[in-house]
Amino acid sequence: MEVPVTPRPLSARTLGRRLSMLLAGAVAVGATSLLTAQQPIPGGPAPGTGPVTSDERHEVVDRIATLLAERYVFADVGLKSGQQLQAELASGAFDALTDPKAFAEALTKSLQQVNHDKHMRVVVKPPQAVGEDRVDPIAQQLRQRAAMESGNFGFNRVERMEGNIGYLDLRGFAPAELARETAVSAMRLLAGADAIVIDLRKNGGGSPDMVRLLCSYFFETPTHLNSLYYREGDRTQEFWTTAEVQGPRMADVPLFVVTSNGTFSGAEEFTYNMQTRGRATIVGETTGGGANPGGVFAANDRFGIFVPTGRAINPVTKTNWEGVGVKPDVPVAATAALDTALALARVAAGAHRTAEIENGRVEREALARELRLAESLYADGRDDDAARAVTSALDQARTQRLIDEGLINWLGYDYMGRKSLPMAIAIFEYNTRAYPTSGNTYDSLGEALLNAGRTQAGLASYRRSLELDPGNSNAKAVLEKSEHERH
């Protein structure tokens, strides 16, 4: 079943705060982004629309040479790249190029012949519409955010496939600050799958913070994923899995990542993180080979260049995928990669399912023993000891992720159906402590208390349920009936 993942609307205050954060870094070096080369040039006046002149060619080449010498992560290579560009300009290699796009492409080709850096590209800023406010950065950011929202922040498709395989088609790593809720929704939908396939064949990269967020779901303990070294300030930024995630972690679920030669930048980081940690099987083609983060700098008012100002350093290999790409564990053409990954995932899912059942057997038996002990303590009139035994048993089971709110609730109703009301009440009370914001836990406790003849406590529990969940029609009906009978 395919399930859409829809982003939640943001309040004006929240959007304003997030836009201010984006604007603050709009013309920075891209210090926290593994961006693709096709990024808009921030700020600046409207670009010209006529042919490229000789003066403009000189202006752009000289500015690019300066930017590379000052900013490129490898200073010597940046200097050499700029000098090569100036030498070609002096030789007349660009004289015939009056079309802006053709000029940008020629500069890109020349630069990459020297530095072989696939992130480095000269780009042309799109001309603005007549009458458009040329100096409105907020409008620019709103347009960019709207474009990301229209693409659901890259979360193109989330689906549970045959064999209980979770599938995510991810087309980009949007900034976590903007796309967190969408990401969390997608990961919640994958939870419970017996194997997961993440399709990055059409993913050109994006924010390392989103890479870190998604990676965090697949590791149980703190894990150093990647580091980014920046020439400016001679500093290194480490990226570790987050201490907490919203929703369950899937640290032991078989994971498959599908790639193509178009998988690039941040998408390659995700793939490399998983491969070097032995966390996923990579299926498909060798990726594009862009590991150097950076940002777009203006060369003049209509040309800019993406300058890689840093480089990735994997904590396991001490290197990265720049120029070589991430090599798959299972090489196969991109067109056949998904089918191959799904076939592998179905086999892995069956094995995982069997292992989960067997691995949980000991824990389930221990829980059953502890609950039987609590029953016997209640039968002996040792109510306090019995309640402590219930708490201890359920605490242990929750720590082992054997049970959750729904299963605890079911367990309570099972005891209530067997007329073991003290056990049912103890279990329901535990659930209200473990999940104090859930109206359903208080509703169930209220029912058990009323069945035990503890009317006032039962009605108080129903009132608390209604406070937490004003739409709880059952609680409303019980309280209204009580009020009617009282009068």
CA dihedral of residues 457, 461, 464, 466 (deg, nearest 10): -130
Could you confirm whether domain 360-486 is CATH 1.25.40.10? Answer: yes
Q: Per CATH, which fold does 141-348 belong to?
A: 2-enoyl-CoA Hydratase; Chain A, domain 1 (3.90.226)
Our separate counts of H helices and E strands in the chain read: 15, 13
Residue whose C-alpha is closest to residue 430's, from 418, 444, 419: 444
DSSP 301: S
Q: What share of the chain is helix, strand, coil (3-state, %, to 5)?
A: 50, 15, 35
- pLDDT confidence of residue 127: 61
Query: What's the chain's Rg over C-alpha atoms?
Result: 29
Per the DSSP assignment, residues forming a β-bridge with 330 are 283
The two tokens of residue 267 are 């998408």
Contacts of 243 (CB under 8 A, 6+ apart): 222
Per-residue CA distances from 51 to 54, 101, 382, 391 (Å)? 10, 10, 91, 77
Per-residue CA distances from 211 to 53, 311, 436 (Å)? 42, 16, 32
Q: Please report, for the chain, the start and end positions of each structural domain, with discontinuous segments joined by +.
A: 141-348, 360-486
Cα separation, 397 vs 401, whole angstroms? 6
Residue with tokens 């390392």: 208
Contacts of 161 (CB under 8 A, 6+ apart): 167, 197, 342
Are the C-beta atoms of residues 148 and 22 closer than 8 Å to each other?
no
Residue with tokens 């593994």: 34
Cα separation, 215 vs 224, whole angstroms? 11
Mapped onto helix, strand or coil, the DSSP state of residue 123 is strand
- pLDDT confidence of residue 135: 56
Residue with tokens 């982004």: 33
Q: SS3 sequence, 387-448?
A: HHHHHHHHHHHHHCCCCCHHHHHHHHHHHHHCCCHHHHHHHHHHHHHHCCCCHHHHHHHHHH
Cα separation, 462 vs 440, whole angstroms? 9
Cα separation, 75 vs 71, whole angstroms? 7
Cα separation, 406 vs 393, whole angstroms? 16
AA letter at 176: A
Residue with tokens 């054997």: 402
Are the C-beta atoms of residues 325 and 261 closer than 8 Å to each other?
yes
AA letter at 208: P
- pLDDT confidence of residue 44: 42
- pLDDT confidence of residue 147: 84
Averages of pLDDT over runs of 10 residues in the chain (487 residues) are 41 36 31 35 51 95 96 95 96 95 96 93 74 61 82 94 96 94 95 96 95 97 96 95 93 97 96 98 97 92 94 96 97 98 96 82 88 95 96 92 91 95 97 96 97 96 96 94 85
Paired sense of beta strands 165-170 and 155-161, if any: antiparallel
- pLDDT confidence of residue 58: 96
The two tokens of residue 196 are 């997961």
Are the C-beta atoms of residues 247 and 184 closer than 8 Å to each other?
yes
Residue with tokens 């039968």: 379
Q: Which residues of 192-222 are buried (b: 16+ CB within 10 A; e: fewer)?
A: ebbbbbbbbbbbbbbbbbbbbbbbbbbbeee
Q: What values do phi and psi take at 233, rounded to 5?
A: 80, 0
Contacts of 319 (CB under 8 A, 6+ apart): 313
Cα separation, 483 vs 79, whole angstroms? 84
Question: Is this prediction's pTM over 0.85?
Answer: no
